[in-house]
Amino acid sequence: MVQGNRISSILALALLAAVLPGACGGSSDDVGATGEVCERKSDDGSTEFLKRVGCATDFEALASTPVDASLPGARSVKVVLDMADQNALYFQNSVLYEVHYAFISSHLSGGELPYVPPLFEFNTTEYFTPDRRFVLGAVTHYAGPGVWALELSPYDTASADMITTLFRAVQGASFFGSKLAFHPTSEAVAAEARKLPSDIPVVSTGDLYAGIDYQPLSLGTAVGRLHFAKAADLDSEYLSHQDIAVLDGVPNDISVVQGIITEEFQTPLSHVNVLSQNRRTPNMGLRNAMSHPELLALKGKLVELTAGPSSWSVREVTEAEAEAFWEAHRPEPITLPDLDLTVTDLRDIEEVTPDPPDGEPLRDAIKKAVLAFGGKAAHYSILARIPEVPIQKAFAIPVYYYDLFMKQNGFYDQIDALLADPKFNTDAATRDEQLKALRDAMKSAPVDAEFQELLKAKIEAEYPGHKMRFRSSTNSEDLDGFPCAGCYDSKTGDPTDWEDVLDAIRKTYASSWQLRTFDERTYYGIDHKTVAMALLVHHNFPDEEANGVAATNNPFDTTGVQPAFYVNVQTGGDVEVVAPPPGVTNEAFLYFFSQPNQPVTYLSRSSLMPEGQTVLTAAQIHQLGVALDAIHTRLSPAYGPAAGNTGWYALEVDFKFDDDANPGEPPTLYIKQARPLPGRGAGADAP
């Protein structure tokens, strides 16, 4: 939304050219307040700073891709205003000097100028104190919406007067000065921006998002046949692992494909994006993809698709090129470790994954627990022992009882017969039909009587008066090379009707044999009969105030310069938070928890909330942040820097705020699960 009386200014910005001029002497539309006169004297990239940016080539000589890559096609130059030197302005080379301090300590320390303190002291004063020496920012050009924006760090506490001084200085020393707007990067900065003079246009993050056509999510290159389909038809329209799917909407699940292009933009935590990152396949949003001329011209043809950080490309390829690509990128077969069928007790969740002895890796303890209790329960057990992490009281049913159920009812023999049928293996429609028949048989099969008595006694003694949630926890999820996000279902059963409990268990077990899940395992060479399902069991959430999913690191910044929690959340519990229905927008924000003032940057607002209101209060956001920080730290010895991981590290965390836990009290936070989250992937920028 445009703020206050600045609508006319933003509308004027929207009429500006969306392409960065390529050289000096552009058209009259490109002329800013000071005209186009290039300042740079050398073309060898050695220019360390300019005091005036006179033309587009000056800007490009200093510019880099901004740390925050949430908006593609952006180029950014950091700016420094030195208030101790009569407001001297510097546009620093942001490739040679990636952060403000590197430039300032090299060029503005000592001599006739005050000395610059060490980095820690510098960061403490220059972003947070009113008596600072510098005002620090960046000018970013967003090519999609055609906006030149002055920005501060989300956690910067600069006053409106400081922002105004910096804005006027940049405006008067740049060829784009007449086009410049101020872009608040957090709610705190936005509050200060409302105090700016009325002639300074303010553009919101939402305005910028509305102006882009391309959304890079999982980066990389793939080769496949370009297959157009509607997301709503994917239950009946079969995709091949050799397809690149072009879709009108964002499906909640999709079978193995080489790549995905969706007309609707996605959240980075959508199931299809997590799947794409797990599979190392490109995934991108592209407005009007279904009618895009370049894609339509290649419909049904073999193509190479590249999704880069700021642009994408597609080209037709030959059969030989496609076959060579598929052979080179065929995943290595995955062999699951042998199940631990010696565990037969219904185990309280705290005891599922014991802390390893000193000196032994936490990852090994998790792997051992997975053999008896599956990935979800193994991770939930660790959460249960973190004081800052609120969870539901829970227990786990080991894989032994799934294996017993399959053996007692002859289902392994049925699976052998299916796998021996050539038509089942080669025809997706046949495979779908026969897997449904298997699931239907499982949903009505008897459940071992001794197991029933054991389970009934556990629930009656420790969980009386509650519906119970039976959550899938298999040995074939959250694995290295095969995380399989969203592969299995969870169901609810009411113990007052014992048959309802048995139905919930049987339906959850049967979800192991859904078509998409089966095909995913086949593609990765997993022996289907080595898969087994444990169950994580706790109270059902009957009346949720909010449900959400978060990443414990900033998915838009792989450098670690701007650490933040990324959160998707929606009011209530009925709307799928990572794949909302058409016309519904979820709340998405970055929470800079590690910064002293903990700013929040909203990327989108919930369309189900009254205007001006957010799904989560400031207190709830902080409560969630405390839990996310504790989870990120505790699981680092298994997946993060404490385990030797030098790359991007994050956990995907599902959470709820529940109204019914403590009637009359504020809604209670519960963490539902945590699992490793892959990064965006790597790949050269598309030409």
pLDDT at 20 over 80: no
pLDDT at 642 over 80: yes
Rounded CA gap, 618 and 510, in Å? 41
Rounded CA gap, 312 and 171, in Å? 32
Q: Do residue 44 and residue 92 come from a single domain? A: yes
Handedness of CA 336, 337, 342, 343 (dihedral sign): negative
Structural domain contains residue 524: no
Structural domain contains residue 333: no
Token output for 153: 């760090």
Rounded CA gap, 274 and 254, in Å? 11
User: What is the DSSP pairing of strand 243-247 with strand 259-262?
Assistant: parallel
Supply angle C-alpha 74, 76, 80, rounded to 5: 160
Rounded CA gap, 283 and 272, in Å? 8
Give me the CATH number covering residue 413: 3.30.1490.20
Confidence of residue 32 (pLDDT cuts 50, 70, 90): very low
- Select from 89, 87, 65 the least CA-distant residue to 75: 65
Q: What is the dihedral of CA 639, 643, 647, 648, to 10 degrees?
A: 40
Give the structural domain span for 633: 544-676
Confidence of residue 571 (pLDDT cuts 50, 70, 90): very high
pLDDT of res. 478: 58
Q: Which residue has the higher pLDDT, 679 or 22?
A: 679
Q: Do residue 486 and residue 613 come from a single domain? A: no
- Please report which helix (H) or strand (E) contains residue 151, including its range: strand 147-151
pLDDT digit string, tens, across residues 366-422: 999 999 999 999 999 999 999 999 999 999 999 999 999 999 999 999 999 999 999
Phi/psi of residue 202, each to 5°? Answer: -120, 130
Rounded CA gap, 386 and 388, in Å? 6
Give Cα separations from 130 to 123, 127, 156, 188, 648 (angstroms). Answer: 13, 9, 11, 15, 34
pLDDT of res. 45: 67
What 3-state class would DSSP assign to 194? coil
Beta bridge partners of 100: none
- Select from 88, 26, 105, 89 the least CA-distant residue to 53: 89
Residue that has been written with the tokens 């300590």 in this structure: 105
Computed over every residue of the chain, the mean pLDDT equals 88
The per-residue DSSP string of 321-382 comes to HHHHHHHHTPPPP--PPPP-TT--S-EEGGGTSPPPPTTS-HHHHHHHHHHHHHHHHHHHHH
Q: Which residue has the higher pLDDT, 158 or 275?
A: 158
pLDDT digit string, tens, across residues 462-502: 999 889 999 999 998 755 556 566 678 999 999 999 999 99
Q: Do residue 667 and residue 586 come from a single domain? A: yes
Q: Do residue 27 and residue 146 come from a single domain? A: yes
Q: Do residue 396 and residue 301 come from a single domain? A: no
Query: Can you list the positions of beta strands (E) in 51-102?
Result: 74-82, 88-92
pLDDT digit string, tens, across residues 45-92: 689 999 999 999 999 999 987 766 567 778 999 999 999 999 999 999
Structural domain contains residue 113: yes
Supply angle C-alpha 103, 108, 112, rounded to 5: 170
pLDDT digit string, tens, across residues 594-604: 988 899 988 88
Amino acid code (one letter) for 562: Q
Structural domain contains residue 111: yes
pLDDT at 684 over 80: no
What 3-state class would DSSP assign to 436? helix
Give the domain-ending residue among 271, 296, 328: 328
Structural domain contains residue 645: yes
Domains held by the chain: number: 4
DSSP summary character for residue 666: P
- Select from 271, 291, 156, 268 the least CA-distant residue to 576: 271
High-pLDDT (> 90) share of the chain, %: 65
Beta bridge partners of 468: 493, 539
pLDDT at 15 over 60: no
Half-sphere exposure of 617 (CA within 13 A, CB side): 9
High-pLDDT (> 70) share of the chain, %: 90
pLDDT of res. 460: 96
pLDDT of res. 269: 85
Q: Do residue 67 and residue 197 come from a single domain? A: yes
Helix axes 498-510, 449-462, angle to 10 degrees: 110
- Select from 63, 33, 200 the least CA-distant residue to 139: 63
Q: Do residue 77 and residue 192 come from a single domain? A: yes
Confidence of residue 285 (pLDDT cuts 50, 70, 90): very high
Rounded CA gap, 568 and 269, in Å? 8
Token output for 414: 């049925």
Rg from Cα positions in the chain: 28
Look up the pTM and report it.
0.82
Give Cα separations from 155 to 127, 166, 185, 357, 685 (angstroms). Answer: 7, 17, 9, 40, 30
Q: Do residue 74 and residue 164 come from a single domain? A: yes
Rounded CA gap, 59 and 76, in Å? 9
Confirm if 280 and 219 have CB atoms less than 8 A apart: no
Structural domain contains residue 525: no
Structural domain contains residue 199: yes
Q: What is the mean pLDDT of residues 435-451?
A: 98
Confirm if 339 and 532 have CB atoms less than 8 A apart: yes
Helix axes 100-107, 119-126, angle to 10 degrees: 110
The per-residue DSSP string of 535-581 comes to EEEEE---SEEEEEEEESS-TT-SSSSS--EEEEEEESSSS-TTSPP
pLDDT at 345 over 60: yes
Amino acid code (one letter) for 572: G
Give the domain-ending residue among 210, 230, 255: 210
Confirm if 483 and 477 have CB atoms less than 8 A apart: yes
Beta bridge partners of 396: 347, 536
Give the domain-ending residue among 210, 229, 257: 210
Q: What is the mean pLDDT of residues 517-535?
A: 92
Give me the CATH number covering residue 281: 3.50.30.10
The per-residue DSSP string of 398-435 comes to -THHHHHHHHHTTHHHHHHHHHT-HHHHH-HHHHHHHH
Supply angle C-alpha 294, 299, 304, rounded to 5: 70
pLDDT at 13 over 50: no
Q: What is the mean pLDDT of residues 421-447?
A: 96
Confidence of residue 579 (pLDDT cuts 50, 70, 90): confident
pLDDT of res. 411: 98
Q: Do residue 253 and residue 353 come from a single domain? A: no
pLDDT at 156 over 60: yes
Give me the CATH number covering residue 663: 3.30.470
Q: Which residue has the higher pLDDT, 138 or 667?
A: 138
Q: Do residue 551 and residue 650 come from a single domain? A: yes
Rounded CA gap, 330 and 398, in Å? 33
pLDDT at 530 over 50: yes
Cα of first residue to Cα of last residue in the chain, in angstroms, is: 33
Q: Do residue 16 and residue 146 come from a single domain? A: yes
Structural domain contains residue 535: no
Confidence of residue 7 (pLDDT cuts 50, 70, 90): very low
Which strands form 533-539's sheet, in the order they lie side by side?
Answer: 347-348, 394-397, 533-539, 468-474, 491-493
Q: Do residue 167 and residue 229 come from a single domain? A: no
